[in-house]
Amino acid sequence: MKEIYLDNSATTKPLPEVIQKMIEALTEGYGNPSSLHNKGLEAEKYLKTAREKIAKKLGVQPDEIYFTSGGTEANNLAIKGAACHYRNRGKHLITTAVEHPSVLESFRVLEGEGFEVTYLKTDKYGLISLDELRDNITEETILVSIIHVNNELGSVHDLEKIGRIIKEKNKNTLFHADCVQSFGKFALNPEKNLIDLLTISGHKIHGPKGIGALYRKKGVQLKAQQVGGGQEKNLRSGTENVPGIAGLIPALDAFEENQLYEKLKKLRKHFLEGLEKIKRRVIVNSPPDGAAHILSISFPGIKGEVLIHSLEAEGIYLSTGSACHSRSREKSHVLKAAGLTEEQIDGTIRISFSSFNTEEEIDYTIEMINKKLEIFF
């Protein structure tokens, strides 16, 4: 049976050249980058190359990039690290109600330590009000953390406007952006957008799992959340995940953002046109100008979970929401914050594209959705 993978926001399939590079790093370049001998230097080269490539994509300096075990760790480090270092400046932090759990849970920990957190509400697309953001920044606000592309809805926050508002209101307030879903698809520019800290992850760009990075603007201080041998300039101790970092290299080379985005946009358009053939009521939850690779749709009165499993039987893989929610019974906090009804949330599925999807796959998926809706509901 042909496999149609439409869950690329959860993770992407690693490219063959990524796997090749990882095998190379495991079989030949297996040294410890901290070792002084040649094997160590060989391993260190992977780190240097990957760091330079990430920095180039972001238009920043390589020594502003710190490897982590993924987006989750980078978010934890940015948020807890900044709050702990700058706690003497103030106790107020701002984020949104629609962040990834790695961001929300970091803020919950900080609340437990006496910080005061403002969770900005959003509109039906999961977008905050910029006026509300401005109104909430005070002299006491040390950090604002905002998701760029929402992993469930595909809505896109305007980082440039947000950065300007933050710095106009309080030039000392740090700006962290979770760019896990946008890195590799959007041309990101932390300097222009006045971003101090930015999170990326390897497995959303056809790279390996368990590897990510944090951009930290020069001069910004963070309290390390993990101590030990002092790797990554004392910010993230632990022997680096060399195969993971090596695997990032071909993934970073594989796509040019604008070209990839154009391709994804066509797939999204094709899917949306296909939805007109669906014989049941469909609500598109994603904004019309949402990110090209993520589409959230609801079939009210239908169980998304049942639909997902029935499509899986046909070799079609998609999800009900984010991968982190799909195994828990709790309803998505993002869809709740966007004001969807319980019935709508239960009937939601998320389709997320990669450059390897085709219009034929989409046509088949639409056909199968129609068929399953007739059989099961």
Ligand X SMILES: Cc1ncc(COP(=O)(O)O)c(C=O)c1O
Binding site for ligand X (CB under 6 A): 70-72, 75, 100, 102, 147, 151, 178, 180-181, 201, 203, 212
Our CB check for ligand X shows the closer of 180 and 291 to be: 180
Query: Do 149 and 98 form a contact (C-beta atoms < 8 A)?
Result: no
DSSP-derived 3-state class of residue 82: helix
Instruction: Find the catalytic residue in 97, 130, 306, 324.
Output: 324
Min CB(212)–ligand X separation in Å: 5
What is the maximal distance between C-alpha atoms in the chain? 66
Give the residue from 154, 203, 157, 197 showing the smallest Cα distance to 177. Answer: 197
Quote the DSSP letter at residue 121.
Answer: -
DSSP-derived 3-state class of residue 136: helix
Our CB check for ligand X shows the closer of 29 and 70 to be: 70
Our CB check for ligand X shows the closer of 54 and 302 to be: 54
In Å, how far from its chain's centre is CA 172?
26
Min CB(278)–ligand X separation in Å: 27
Min CB(157)–ligand X separation in Å: 11
349 vs 347: CA distance, rounded Å: 7
Give the residue from 83, 18, 59 showing the smallest Cα distance to 243. Answer: 18
Q: Sheet containing 348-352: give its strands across.
A: 283-284, 294-298, 348-352
Our CB check for ligand X shows the closer of 293 and 372 to be: 293
Min CB(312)–ligand X separation in Å: 20
Relative orientation angle of helices 242-254 and 38-58, to the nearest 10 degrees: 40
Q: Is residue 84 among the annotated active site residues? A: no
Which residue lies nearest ligand X, judged by its C-beta? 71
Tokens found for residue 375: 């059989």
Our CB check for ligand X shows the closer of 72 and 310 to be: 72
Min CB(120)–ligand X separation in Å: 16
User: Which sequence positions are flagged as catalytic?
Assistant: 324
